[in-house]
A and B are shown apart, each in its own frame.
Chain A
Amino acid sequence: MSKKLPHICPSCSSLLNVKSLICSHCDTEVSGNYNLPVLASLTEEDQQFIISFVKCSGSLKIMAQDLGLSYPTVRNMLDDVILKLGVVQRKSTGEI
């Protein structure tokens, strides 16, 4: 079972930060207070969409063919991801 990386606080719905990182090879642990990368703050589905977008060299036409969807559907998905990225960035800078 793949675990989902939580990025929203279940208590107050703010963005979560990273407190510690661990090396799975030697068990070295690093502690601190790090912001999650913006992409990690998106849902797994949105991250997968971005990976497909990059793999298709940013061509929505090729992506639509690969996904078996129409061009405007893929463009709308991209626009939704752009909107979400804007919200995450504004949240991380404390604008909202």
Chain B
Amino acid sequence: MRTKLFNPFIYLAGGKALALGIAGMIMAALLGFFGHSHFNGVLDFHKFRDGLPLYISLAEQAIIFLCTVVPFYVAGRVFSTSQIRLVDVTGTLALARGPMILTAVTGFGLPADIRGLADITAGVIALALVGFVFVIWMVALSYNAFSVSCNIKGSNSVSIFIVCLLIAEISAFYCCSLLYPHS
């Protein structure tokens, strides 16, 4: 059970994982659109008072995914001694973003504006924590996706993963910011 929750890539990778992952990202974008929330980075999730056009929600997902795949694939090509396949790296990393669907669901219960301490109710804190747990789950899945698809194990893999995740986060955050007309 634990393996299936945290490392489903032992059983599923490649094209099937990619198709499922893309479906998941579209679902997260739709939930974000209807719940007036959005993802503007690999690890970022925010509420938006007026909501965003659907095409921006979808474009955010595409940008985040591309910004994630590129550094991890390059790292795999550089550090792995195995013959890695792009379809495995993209497929597993796409599937690893699955928990973002649940994070997007929590967006329905979060207020768009928090103006003071009075707005931070126990329910809001609980939902934010639940959303945070899903983000941690996504990070754990992403690590296993990288480790399995690129065959990089041990302490080295953790350092490489952290560097790639930081590059992905910064580049995705920057590229997403270009989408918003006011920025």
- From A68, A70, A75, B151 is in contact (CB under 8 Å) with A75
Asked if B81 CB lies within 8 Å of chain A CBs, one says yes
How many positions in chain A have a CB within 8 Å of any CB in the partner chain?
9
**A68-B122 Cα distance, complex, nearest whole Å:** 45
The answer to whether B10 and A69 have CB atoms under 8 Å apart is yes
Spot the interface stretch: B43-51, B82-90, B112-120.
B82-90
Asked if A72 CB lies within 8 Å of chain B CBs, one says yes
The answer to whether B85 and A70 have CB atoms under 8 Å apart is no
Complex interface: chain B residues within 8 A of A75 (CB): 82-83, 151
Chain B residues 3-42 with CB under 8 Å of chain A are: 9-14, 17
Q: How far is the CB of A69 from chain B (nearest CB, A)?
A: 6
**A72-B92 Cα distance, complex, nearest whole Å:** 10
Asked if A76 CB lies within 8 Å of chain B CBs, one says yes
Cβ proximity bits B80-112 to A, threshold 8 Å, 1 near / 0 not = 011111001000100000000000000000000
Binding site for B on A (CB under 8 A): 68-73, 75-76, 79
